[in-house]
Structure 1
Amino acid sequence: MNVAIAAIKTEAETGLMEAYSAARHSLPGGRAISAARNEAFDAFALGGLPHRRLEAWKFTDLRRLVKDAKPIAPPPDAAAFEAAARAGQDLGGLGFRRISIVDGAFAPALSDLEGLEAGVTIRPLASALAADESVLSCDIGPVLPANEPTLLLNTAFAADGAVIEVADGVVVERPFHLMFVTTGAAPTAVYTRSLVVLGQGARATLVESHEGPEQSDYQVNAVVKVELGDDARLDHVKVVREGNAALHVATLLADVGARAHFSAFGFLVGGALVRNQLFVRLAGVETVAELSGVSLLAGRQHGDTTLSIDHAAPGSTSRETFKAVVDDAAQAVFQGKIAVRQQAQKTDARMMSRALLLSAEAEVYSKPELEIFADDVQCGHGATTGTLDDQLKFYLMARGIPAKEAEALLIQAFVGEVVETIAHEGLREGLSAVTLAWLGERG
């Protein structure tokens, strides 16, 4: 006798199924996009929300942590636009080209789309979906796990975002600022997908920021896919300053061509539960990737940085440096994997994770990995976790610096080593100011 075993769905998983059933016919896209959405959601429904039995989600069990599925955010109204216009003040004076996404919808009225350089186009993802373009494709090779749950959800639900395209040889002097703002006190779910394509020899800087209201347990699922042609360069800086009760899950997909240079810096200072996952494929010869980040966590925040970088061609170089400062009962997670394919001889890859614990209740989980199939490589990884150096603190206090200020100076120096790697001077100074503000709020 054969007995069928049905998987038990959580309240959140059931809510997601109901939400997709209600929204699927109103989501933008032609026949091909609709088929891609249905296929993605069917795959998600089979496995459900990620949980600790999945190795990549061992330390961030969404099935346990996500209690319910929020309703999809409605189109922004006048009040939402007014709230979004006040957002991004920290970066507003740096002269970036602002591209606003409000409650998941591209907002031309709040975006700076005039005077684009020749060869640069910026358009809503919704228009590309309506034309049935294959903008929901996320294939970047084996570096991306099959049926990644949160990416499947994004593919199913994403209705808007931005498509930025830079033609061959174009150098964009003014940085793009993709600003994602969630408004309103009522908890909602926001799904966005953005695509950044740089042609051969093109150069640009992309700043990505996320923010929303305090005390609202809204949910964000954001995906940014980057495609770099040969000899191109992109500097990407992401700042997460979500509200203190928000859930933020984001995926960066990067496919990097030959002799290209890709740098990505992540700065996390807000949100109740944040997971930033990066999947990077170095597909061309002599490619350079620099991935780094800083997480400032306090209260009961949970910050997870998970990355996988695939060296798929000879002579590529990668450097990964991530630091976390963890206070109170917060948790920091770092999972990093470097894979070197058999054909990727002469690879040079180094990865380091460092964490600073400021309280006895703070927790850090670190899991660096190397997977090497080539025999002529230089690869290494490391991880450290510790507390403030009492001798250095005493040295500062002995010179008349109060204890709290001495701690702040040591923490600032710990973080500043990574922040200083940001090429844009104004951005460096802005994030240093955010760090000082965070230190000033410590009890």
Structure 2
Amino acid sequence: MHRIILIILVLVIVVVTGVITAEYYTAQPQFCGSCHIMKPYYDSWVKDKHNEKNVTCVDCHYPPGEKHALKSKFKGLGQLFTYLGTGTNVVRTPAKVSDLSCTTSACHPKEKFMDKKFQYTEKIPYVHNTHADKTIEGQALHCDTCHQHVRTEKHFEVPRMACYLCHFKEAKFNEGRAKCSLCHEIPVKPLQKLEEGAEPSQKTITHKTLEESKVSCESCHYQIIQGKGSIKKEGCFNCHEYSAEMLKKAEDKKSMHQEHVAAQNARCFDCHMPIEHREAEFMEVARKNCSACHPDHHAQQKMLIAGTGGKGTEQDYPIRHFNVKVNCFACHTLDDYDLKGVQVMKGNPDNCAACHTEDEKKLVKKWKEDVFDILEETREIEQEALKAIEEARGKVPDSRIQKALAMVAEGKENIKIVMAGGGVHNKKYSALLLDIAMEKFDDAMAELE
């Protein structure tokens, strides 16, 4: 009996010693690096400062108190079985690092690090708290939101592309979170030297003087921000099954950030296209961005074709072409030049006959003439209304003057649509808008009587 008890005791000691030894061995970075799919990550850790300070894999990848628990061992076994079952040779799912692992008293305690000023680069300072308090809707920033494994040679880093995405996406140039001075000091070096004999009134031009004079940074630096950080919806299906519902859900910014950023299930560029912040050919970038100088270009033409946007209308009056989805290229096929010599595609009346009859060619000219005649009449009544308002100042209450001005403003809006959009895009709707404009002008004059 004593022999059996002794044997059991020895076996227990052997098993416990084996478990302790195995637990210790499997918690060592060298064990992680022995798996070939983990080799690149191990090699980058060896060169990292965390290795120098003896911070091991389990110190970061498992929260405090969990690294020796069975749960952590099952996680490791899960990775092993995934590898054995699929034969994959890369890590498909990025590792999650709990904030608790980073902010322990032995590492980066919040009370010491959140308000401390760091140098991201030689010229760019960084304070954690200023970023933690300015999250985008749905986000909850974690340490590994910014500190990511991006390149094989570095275990993790803060990639500049991540900074650019948050600072520039849907932000106005040099405003708010995209303000240049948040990261850059305004240079004081002169941009040009004054010529000898220059007048005393001439001033040396520096970035500082330009800022004080409220000269837009876009004037010279428009090209340094390229890209919109758009969503790659096709990227959803690298992780999820395809569905129309998934595509629609991808437009819900709050939900997407909650499920991916806050829950640490994806990295920024799994979903977003990058935004670049670098020098580029300065004229071409501005020249090719039509909307920079022509915001909402051709909006009035679209309004006329769709029969929408006018003041005082009770319903939409689309042209028949709109209902069958005829677009600009159906009519605008002539290579021509505008008054400034800029090449444009002009409307070709011959295209009317291709769909309709030969007689339709003549209609375009007639529509233009008819709308022009109504427009001239409308502009004359507009001038009468404006004259009446000026003559009424000081003679009638200001409230009535303001009411008359509001009526005139609505009439002007209709004129603007017809003039900018070209009445030919929808003659009937153009005539209706001008009729309403004339009524507005008449009502304005009646208000002053």
- Could you tell me the TM-score, scaled by structure 1's length? 0.21
Q: Which has the higher helix share?
A: 2
Q: Which has the higher strand share?
A: 1
Query: Rg larger in 1 or in 2?
Result: 2
- Could you tell me the TM-score, scaled by structure 2's length? 0.21
